[in-house]
Amino acid sequence: MKNFRKITIASLLVSTLACTDGFEEINKDPNRAVDVTSAQLLTNAQYNFSNNITDEWNNGRFGMYYAQYWSSTYYSDESRYQIRENTNQIMWNTFYTDVLSELQESQKVEEKSKFPGYKNRIAISEIVKAYTYHFLTDIYGGPIPYTEALNADEVTPAYNTGEEVYAGLLATLDEQVKVLDASEPSYATGDVLYEGDVNAWKRFANSLRMRIALRMIDAKPAEATEAIKKSLDPANGGIITTQEQSALFRWLSSPPNNNPMNQSFKVRVDFSMSKPFIDYLKLYNDPRLPLFAQPLLNTNDYVGEAYGMASSGASSNGDPTVVSLPSNYGVGATAPTIWLDLAEVKFMLAEIQARELKVGLTGTAAQYYQEGVSASMHFAGVGEANITAYLKKVPYNAAKWKDSIGSQKWIAMYTQGIQGWLERLRLDFKDPITGKAIFALPASGSLDPDVTDISKRMTYPLVEASLNGAHYRTALEKLGGRNSKGAKNWWDKY
């Protein structure tokens, strides 16, 4: 797809994954042929994906706002649902050009060489592709270029429906889990997430399949349940069961390979902790609060900023004596980008049992819920005594399982703005104890007439209307006829 191939990117590689001590930049000379390895291309894709969902634009001004983890200290239009079109275009292009196309090229290298272990390496690339398309389809509301997207000869690729994309992702994960073979070689270098560990990639693929299945379960319960059964089948390699098995992209301590949000905070402070998030953490004396946020300067108090204030009325301007700022948990140089972790898996298991899906699990919903909270707290560095005390304050409520699981999963997903927003849309949770709303309407009102409470999707980049007009218009027919942030995803039934 030619319009996805316009950006020339820098190749990044890990010199020695066994003892990763730095990323090295390799600048491509477009006038000179360069042999690029599959490992380098995989690193490029993993790096570019992680940067795309962690930076100040797509995480800070989009995901972290829409999940209401953060508020704006001054430039607040995005928190009121008015996007910057150029950043939306860059997010779209990065997913296609700098992630998916790199993975496609890595597979071509492997298919050409057929060195031992090439099937494993192709399978890993396919799983990362599935993960990327999963983000794309959910962010943009369902229809996206999918089956024709990476065809270099196809200038105007068709949009597949969200249902078609999900069916394709589940089929891909099913196939690649079967392909992965731990008795064969894999990536010796280049795989930042799992260092070529084939069994780890099986666990990740199965856990991802479970996430996708639960995302669609209200729309396609039979298909979702079948996918969950496959994920949990021990013959398929299992799911993530320990903290060490979580999929994390680990940033380095210095530029240009530190956490991109860390780099942003070195320049300016545009983000503060949101009042809805801080107030909810304070309500039950959550021990993660001092780990997620900074207290007001020279105090032990935590104050969140009103969400969605007009720029002229923003209360803090990032003043640490007025509002709590994010801690190094989210914006430290080496704060990892979480792709999928143990806490999320535990909450997925809790939901499966709450829905009584009969897929062979032996634990109870309450047990998995408690394990999800504990996993989140262990990851943040909370001690056992504080975990036990907190769980007594927020016991699992079977009658309000969406509220119990949703609220705690939301807290656990702090820093994962996009996924926190999507789970907010899917579960529509409130405080399970008081029954009150957790989230707030923008304090100064929405700037988008189609959205009053929360955006349901990101609009397609405007350039799609001119570059791929016919297919773009067909996609909009699936979304009510307009490129609106108020159009629901196909799986968002409530």
At 57-99, the pLDDT tens digits run 999 999 999 999 999 998 899 999 999 999 999 999 999 999 9
Tell me the three state secondary structure of residue 13: strand
Beta strands at 271-273 and 159-160: parallel, antiparallel or unpaired: unpaired
Count Cβ atoms within 10 A of the Cβ of residue 234 and give its class: 0-12 exposed, 13-18 middle, 19 or more buried.
exposed
Count Cβ atoms within 10 A of the Cβ of residue 16 and give its class: 0-12 exposed, 13-18 middle, 19 or more buried.
exposed
Tell me the three state secondary structure of residue 27: coil
**Buried/exposed 64-75: b ≥16 CB within 10 Å, e otherwise:** bbbbbbbbbbbe
> Please, are residues 377 and 409 in contact by the beta-carbon 8 Å criterion?
no
Task: Specify the pLDDT at position 438.
Answer: 99
Domain assignment of residue 341, yes or no: yes
Task: Specify the pLDDT at position 334.
Answer: 98
Task: Specify the pLDDT at position 35.
Answer: 83
Could you tell me if residue 42 is left (phi over 0), alpha (psi between -120 and 50 degrees) or otherwise beta? alpha
CA–CA dist 22, 183 (Å, integer): 29
**Which runs of E-coded beta strand occur in 351-452?**
none
Helix (H) or strand (E) holding 96: none
* End-to-end Cα distance, the chain: 36
Task: Specify the pLDDT at position 2.
Answer: 42
Token couple for 389:
């005390």
Domain assignment of residue 196, yes or no: yes
Helix (H) or strand (E) holding 271: strand 271-273
Q: Dihedral of CA 417/422/428/429: which sign?
A: negative
β partners of residue 271? 72
Task: Specify the pLDDT at position 315.
Answer: 67
More confident position, 264 or 399: 399
Q: Measuring CA to CA, how many Å separate 143 from each of 135, 166, 298, 488, 489?
A: 12, 10, 50, 12, 9
Cβ-based neighbours of 165, under 8 Å, separated by 6 or more: 133, 137, 142, 143, 144, 146
Task: Specify the pLDDT at position 127.
Answer: 99
Token couple for 125:
């690339």
Q: How confident is the model at residue 34 (pLDDT cuts 50, 70, 90)?
A: low
Q: Tokens 């706002």: give the residue.
A: 65
Share of the chain above pLDDT 70, in %: 93
**Which runs of E-coded beta strand occur in 314-448?**
337-340
Domain assignment of residue 300, yes or no: no
Which residue in 332, 321, 271, 310 sits closest to 73, CA to CA? 271
**Buried/exposed 412-426: b ≥16 CB within 10 Å, e otherwise:** bbbbbbbbbbbbbbb
> Please, are residues 132 and 99 in contact by the beta-carbon 8 Å criterion?
yes
Domain assignment of residue 491, yes or no: no
pLDDT in tens, 411-445: 999 999 999 999 999 999 999 999 999 999 999 99
Token couple for 341:
């972790």
Domain assignment of residue 54, yes or no: yes
- In the structure, how many helices (H) and strands (E) does the chain have? 19, 8
The residue type at 294: Q
Share of the chain above pLDDT 90, in %: 89
- Residue 463 sits in a domain whose CATH number is 1.25.40.390
* Total of domains in the chain: 1
Q: Is the pLDDT of residue 455 over 80?
A: yes
Domain assignment of residue 326, yes or no: no
Of the CA atoms within 13 Å of residue 329, those in its CB half-sphere come to 23
Query: Mean pLDDT score of the chain, rounded to an integer?
Result: 93
Token couple for 104:
């496609």
Task: Specify the pLDDT at position 266.
Answer: 87
**The domain containing residue 42 runs over which residues?**
2-29+38-74+83-255+335-477
pTM of the model as a whole: 0.94
Mean pLDDT, rounded, for 169-188: 99
Domain assignment of residue 173, yes or no: yes
Token couple for 391:
């769980």
CA–CA dist 128, 46 (Å, integer): 8
Token couple for 33:
């042929």
Domain assignment of residue 190, yes or no: yes
Q: How confident is the model at residue 33 (pLDDT cuts 50, 70, 90)?
A: very low
